[in-house]
Amino acid sequence: PAPLALLHYVPRVPPAALLGKITATTFALERPCCIFDRHTNASDAIWLVVAFANASATFRNPQSQADVPPYEGLRTTGSYMTLETAAAAYTCSAPSPLVLRVGGDTTCGGQGKQEPCNGPLPSPGPYRVKFLVMDCHGPKAETRWSDPILLRRADSPSAIDPAPVRGGSSDVVIIGSILASLGAALAVAVLSTVGAEAWGSLCRQDSRSSTFARRSYRTHHIPPALPQPLPPGCRCSPPGLGCFAPQPPALCPAK
């Protein structure tokens, strides 16, 4: 067979933030573009080889498609091949997705089938991957192995961070999220209490205003007394003291 061409392309996980880039069972790869054009024909197929990092050095390329290690081989021999794609999908003009999802087929491994499949990865790894070009006679070209890719484990799917971690530990991130949630709940409770008090005060004021508006108040007016004619022999005293009758002069005592 012709010697195998070694391409200098190194597969890698996209460096930019990407939702679900690395999860507990899957990871995303950049799609190679314009890498295989000089080494492929239209009838060739391009495979992705997935292996545990410590098994990549001992992996041997299959000599025919019948020898392709299936998905179930990862647990026993530490490697398998997946994502069989026509070479035309990786040309410069191909309208293909920008990323490839490794481990995204949840139907793999059922009914005891032993065949190539893109099933979920069973452990955090780490893993290494490479692309292998094959025709009907066997391998033609291959890329270099990727750097180790380590998956993330979490107690619940919501705790998996889809974005790359920049400094700090996951514990700090989780604790910070919990504290932020508690602070938001406390703020909502305080605002609700203040709002209820303000609304109750407005209602009480409105109730008092309405009651006052519905009541009618009458004032009691006492008319002034009309002037009365003075009795005979009565003379006025200083204002406000009424009147009194003059007293006859006292008689002088007899001598």
Task: Please give the full DSSP string across 130-164, using - where no structure is assigned.
Answer: EEEEEETTEEEEE-PPPPPB-----SSGGG---SP
* Mean pLDDT confidence for 47-72: 92
Q: What is the pLDDT of residue 56?
A: 93
User: What is the C-alpha to C-alpha distance for residues 176 and 169, in angstroms, rounded to an integer?
Assistant: 11
Domains of the chain: 5-152 (2.60.40.10)
Distance, CA of 5 to CA of 125 (rounded, Å):
28
Tokens of 58: 């001992």
Per-residue pLDDT, 42: 81
Q: What share of the chain is helix, strand, coil (3-state, %, to 5)?
A: 25, 20, 55
Note the pLDDT of residue 34. 87
Q: How confident is the model at residue 198 (pLDDT cuts 50, 70, 90)?
A: low
R_g of the chain, CA atoms, integer Å = 49
Mean pLDDT of 25-45: 89
> What is the predicted pLDDT for the residue at 108?
83
Is pLDDT of 201 > 60?
Answer: no
CB atoms within 10 A of CB 78: 18
Q: What is the pLDDT of residue 215?
A: 46
CB distance 59 to 77 below 8 Å: no
Q: Give the mean pLDDT of the chain.
A: 74
Q: Is the pLDDT of residue 115 over 70?
A: yes
pLDDT digits (tens, 9 = 90+) for 7-16: 999 999 999 8
- Reply yes or no on whether the pLDDT at 114 is more than 60: yes
Percent of the chain residues past pLDDT 70, beyond the cut? 56
Maximum separation of any 2 CA atoms in the chain, in Å: 182
3-state DSSP assignment of residue 131: strand
